[in-house]
Structures are given as structure tokens and as C-alpha cells.
Structure 1
Amino acid sequence: MYDTFEPKSLLPQEKVEFYRKNGFVQIHNVLTADELEELRDYMDEAMNSAQGMSTQTDQKGGSYYRVLNQRVNIWRDHAGMAKYTAHSRFAEMARQLVGTSGIRLFHDHALLKMPGDSKPTPWHQDLTYWPMNETGALSIWITLDDVDERNGCMMFIPGSRSIGKLNPISLVDPQDIFEYTKGTEHEHTKPVIVRMKAGSCTFHDGLTFHYAHANVTDNQRRVLAIIYMTDGTTYSGKSHTITNGLGLAVGEPIRGGLFPLLARA
């Protein structure tokens, strides 16, 4: 476990190998106790502000809000959030896991599962929503609260990224993604439940099947997720709230001030 993690420290080789085999990995204590408390304060402050340049996915009472109270690109609203979204510590870990020469930010999002009428986040892949031609993009999922099956911890299907890129799944009215596993080596693969202490994280590949439980507790479950892409990832032209209106050219690398290079070999 890491009480502190310097940006250029090497991840244990077993963590890298586990990720490359399974498409996800759990890492303890990526935040110090002081950082955890600071990030909690920053996120609460940013999420409680009605102003800013981030995108609120749905309003309170909406169908999606019951799955996730989400703000995308929250780093653009709050310098404290930007400190963590752009942190080289996390980006360097992502670079090591993928084995690439450079990692760029795609976007971040605050992911809150609210208490009360909470719904699970259904099984899905992430990359199907992103406007990228190449594979290899991944997410870090940093929990600011202890998580288990009662408040929204995640589950993964090991090795499921080998099935390839499927059609997007509606998070409000989902289809059964496991229809795609029939006849494959993953037809009977058991999900791995990932319970974590606050300040820990998972990384998962954009093609890995994953799910988050509903929140049946009396408190919100807070997560900072950051999506990374390998340097040189090109724009597919697919509609996406992050890239729409930016004038990106199809087939050209996604780069610039909104997609900074955060780690390099």
C-alpha cells in the first residue's frame, strides 16, 4: 500500500501484469489522509456551485440522476479539482499500466451516487461513448468514501475487453450486455467485486465490462473519475459533450489545452 506515491515511482510489476491480463486493477492509498480531506472539500464545494463550465448530466429527479449525479469536466470550474485531475501521480500510473510513451487527459467527472432512490449503474463499456478511433483509453476511479455493495462499489468482468467494442448501453434503460459473451471464453466468467477504503482507486480499460451497485445508505458516495488516452489518439467524429463544437478534425490527434499531456516516459 502507498502512504505517499511520488510521480515517477514505479508501480509494482504484479499490478501492471494484473491490469494487462484482466483490464482492471485496484491500488490502495493513492491519496494521503490530508489529500483525501482536501479533495472531499473541493468536490463538495464544486458540486454545490450552480455556476461553471462543467456539464451537469441530469437534474435532480431525472432518470439518469437516480443512477449518477454527475458533472463532467469539473476541473474547469474549480482550481482545487484541477490540481487532482491534472496530477502527474495518477497519470504516470496510467502510463505505466498501458505501457505508452505519453498520457493525455480526456476529461474528468465527479460521480455521486445519491442516497434514497438510487439505481445501479448497469453493466457497460466506456469506450463505446468516447469519440476515439483507437483503443487503450482508461479511467482511474478514486473513491472519497469507503465503498462496498451497499453504497455503490464496482464490479468487473476480468478479461472482458477481449470481446471488443460493442454498441453503447443505455444507463437508464439498459440491454443485457452479457448477450455478447455467449459462445466466448467469458460466458461463465464471474464478476470481481471491488470493495475499497476511501483514498484508494481502481484503473480500468475502456472496453472492460463494469457495474456499480446502487446506494442504499443514508450518505452520498463520492468518486472522482479521470479518463486518460494515449498520446496520439485520434478523433472519430462521434458526438460527445466534451468534443462537440471544438472543430476537431476527424482522424487527427485529440490534443490542445483541454486535452493536456500529463505524463511522458
Structure 2
Amino acid sequence: MNAQAKTQTPITQKHIDFYQENGFVQVDNMLTPEELAELRGYLEEAMQTESDRSKSTDKKDGSYYRVLNQKVNLWRDHAGMGKYSFHPRFAQSAMKLSGASGMRFFHDHGLWKMPGDSKATPWHQDTPYWPINEADAGMMSIWITLDDVNEDNGCMAFVPKSHKLGKLTGIDLANPQNIFDFVEGGQSAERKPVIVPLKAGSCTFHNGLTFHYAHANVTDKPRRVLAIIFMPDGITYNGKEHLVTDGAGLTAGQPITGPRFPLLAKTDV
């Protein structure tokens, strides 16, 4: 694959318009078949690696127990994962969708919903869990599935336009509250969730404020996903503890920068 093909984004104006209006968008065939096969091997190896650099968050009595197997900062343990976590095609796509002038990496995470006994991931926003000052930061996630996904094995669902409702209270994923109870005046009542089945190698992008949910996995095989969080350049740190920013030498009130949070895409202007 030549360099141009590697960096070329599949994002069209139609994708951008849909994302800006609804807070999420589906993008088919983000990975080539060769990339899909390679990433499956890398993710398998990375998820099995024991390390103090990456963090597993699915321990018993933890917030993700039996919801999903999650491992954060896989790139710090596996150079192959770094190839995809910092992939220019993903970052360029995120920048185009968001309209930001520059896009930084925040973290990656492997998300496995194990067969048979996993719970659904309840409705939530992502932004309340991130140690940032901005309420409407424009931070976003790409969610790349390595398996065909549907309602039986953990595909995603989104509430269109919910990113316009603002930053609400964070949800306890193990003992979830109803996020819709935090919406004043029933503003989301008319916004029906959209279920998004995907073919392996395809993805969704969603805003950190968008309400989203993942179905339980009731099949006999794991559902494997790589998710990467991007942040517009200039987002500032609020000083709170977070497994991604701890030990990174950040200063409260200052932009999140440094070797763990590289600028992956920027406009030519």
C-alpha cells in the first residue's frame, strides 16, 4: 500500500454533515482486508500481555466487570498496535468530521465483549469520565469492529442529536442510572435510538457527548473492537486523576500535550 492510500480518508461531505447534525456517523470499510487480518493478530497479542503500562479495567468488582473486557493504552505494550492507534487515516478522518484544525491522540482501548455472560454497556456519555475542563470539547471516538456486529453480539446504538444536550452526570456502568433522567424537560423523548450493525473492518465515530449503548454478547464468540479517542488540539487538563493522564507530567489548566498525546493531524492552513 502506498503512502497516499494509507493516509487517504474515506470521509465525504455527507459523512461530515451527518456527524455534525447527529453526533455520530457510520463509515464502512475503514480497514482494508489486509489491515483487518493484521490488526486482529496484533489485538489478540496485546490483550493477552500483562503490563504496568497498559491497564485492564475488567477486574472483579470493578466498574466494567462482566460489562466488557477493556484494556487501555495497548500501544504502550505492542508496537503493532501503535501502527493502528496512530494511523493517519483515522486521525485525518476524525479531524474532518469534527472541523478541528488539529487532532491529538488521547488513548486507545481494546474492547472485548466475551461470549455468553456479558452485560449490555448502558447508555452513557464519554466526556464526563475524561479529565478535561471543556464541557463541549469536541472529543470523539472511532470504534472499529474486527468482527461482524449486530444486536446479538454487541453492536452499538446512538441517540441522534443527543450531543447537543450538554455534559450530564457520569453513569456507573456496573450499576447504571438512567441517563435520560438527567435530561431536563424530556428533551430527548422524541429522539429514538439508532442501532448500527457493522461489517468487520467498518467503524463508527461518535462525539464524547453523544448518548451511546452496546448490546450484550449472547453468541459463543468474543466481539472484538479497537476504539481510539481523539481530542482537538488545545483541550486542557483539569488536574483530576485518570489512568491515561496520571504520571504524564501535565499541569492543571494547561493544554494536554506531550509524548503520550501526539498531534496526529492538522490542517494545512
Q: What TM-score range do you get, normalising by the shorter chain?
A: over 0.9
Counterpart residue identity of residue 15, structure 1: H
The C-alpha deviation readout for 1:197-246, integer Å capped at 9, x for no partner, is 00000000000000000000000000000000001111011221111233
* Comparing 54-63 and 146-155, the one that deviates more: 54-63
Q: Distance in 1 between matches of 2:155 and 2:141?
A: 15
The C-alpha deviation readout for 1:161-205, integer Å capped at 9, x for no partner, is 111101110100000001133524322211000000000000000
1:200 to 187, 199, 202: 202
2:252 to 235, 250, 255: 250
2:45 aligned partner:
45
Give the root-mean-square deviation of aligned CA atoms.
1.6
2:144 aligned partner:
142
Q: Percent identity over the alignment?
A: 61
1:213 aligned partner:
215
| Paired residue secondary structure (1:82) | helix
What is the Cα deviation at residue 116 of structure 1? 2.2
CA contact (8 A) 1:136 1:229 kept: yes
What is the Cα deviation at residue 48 of structure 1? 1.5
Q: Distance in 2 between matches of 1:145 and 1:178?
A: 30
2:225 aligned partner:
223
Q: Which runs of 5+ in 1 are unaligned?
A: none
Whether 2:119 is the aligned partner of 1:119: answer yes
TM-score, with length taken from structure 2: 0.93
CA contact (8 A) 1:52 1:76 kept: no
* Comparing 43-52 and 179-188, the one that deviates more: 179-188
2:158 aligned partner:
156
Q: Which runs of 5+ in 2 are unaligned?
A: none
Q: Distance in 1 between matches of 2:8 and 2:266?
A: 10
1:23 aligned partner:
23
Query: Closer, same or farther in 2 for the Cα pair 1:5/1:127, shift >3 Å?
Result: farther
Counterpart residue identity of residue 101, structure 1: S
Q: Distance in 2 between matches of 1:239 and 1:49?
A: 24
Counterpart residue identity of residue 74, structure 1: L
1:57 aligned partner:
57
1:129 aligned partner:
129
| Paired residue secondary structure (1:65) | coil
What is the Cα deviation at residue 43 of structure 1? 0.4
1:33 aligned partner:
33
Whether 2:83 is the aligned partner of 1:76: answer no
CA contact (8 A) 1:155 1:210 kept: yes
CA contact (8 A) 1:5 1:30 kept: no
| Paired residue secondary structure (1:11) | coil
Q: Distance in 2 between matches of 1:61 and 1:251?
A: 33
Q: Distance in 2 between matches of 1:51 and 1:123?
A: 30
CA contact (8 A) 2:169 2:182 kept: no
TM-score, with length taken from structure 1: 0.95
Counterpart residue identity of residue 157, structure 1: V
Query: Closer, same or farther in 2 for the Cα pair 1:137/1:62, shift >3 Å?
Result: closer
CA contact (8 A) 2:58 2:66 kept: no
The C-alpha deviation readout for 1:87-120, integer Å capped at 9, x for no partner, is 0100000000011111000000000000121100
What is the Cα deviation at residue 146 of structure 1? 0.3
Q: Distance in 1 between matches of 2:242 and 2:201?
A: 30
The C-alpha deviation readout for 1:28-71, integer Å capped at 9, x for no partner, is 00000010000000000111222351001123686623101010
The C-alpha deviation readout for 1:125-157, integer Å capped at 9, x for no partner, is 000000112210000000000000000000000
Whether 2:110 is the aligned partner of 1:110: answer yes
What is the Cα deviation at residue 255 of structure 1? 0.4
